[in-house]
Amino acid sequence: MKIDAQRGIVYLQMDDPFDVNKGKELIDKMLDHPDFRKGMSTLWDIRGVDAASVTREHMREMRMFNLGREEKRGYGRMAILVDSDINFGLSRMYHVVGDLPHIEMSVFRELNEAEQWLDESPFWPVEDLTNRPEGSSNSSDP
């Protein structure tokens, strides 16, 4: 995990094989980190991960886990960086199944595009979820 406090981006790396519990640990580690600020964006790098073993139940489990941390997390963007068609498709499926009201999510194949999208995001506290800026939604596509 790396936190770029100036840009407001937390970089999280998921290694192969995919493990839901490791994902949960990374989220809790991020939220407890002294440099983390409510509303920071996250970039999940899952390049090299064989996501074929990820099930719909894994996605639901991660969704419920994230919902339980909404107050601490705040509203922010989440970019998922992939390097294969299957990971792109599964990440888009997570985007639908894992729909989170406090996280605007998108999937990318290029790091610079993901970072650019995250850089465009100001921080919004959880209290302002109903007052999102115009054009902000949970259905962004690169």
Q: What DSSP letter does each residue of 96-122 carry, written as one string? A: HHT--TTEEEEEESSHHHHHHHHHTPP
Q: Phi, psi at residue 29, to the nearest 5°?
A: -60, -40
User: pLDDT by residue (tens digit) across 37-68?
Assistant: 999 999 999 999 987 788 888 888 988 898 88
122 has a pLDDT exceeding 80:
no
Please state the rounded mean pLDDT for residues 68-84. 91
User: pLDDT by residue (tens digit) across 82-98?
Assistant: 999 989 988 888 777 66
Query: What's the pTM value of the predicted model, to 2 decimals?
Result: 0.81
Q: Distance between CA 100 and CA 70 in Å, rounded?
A: 9
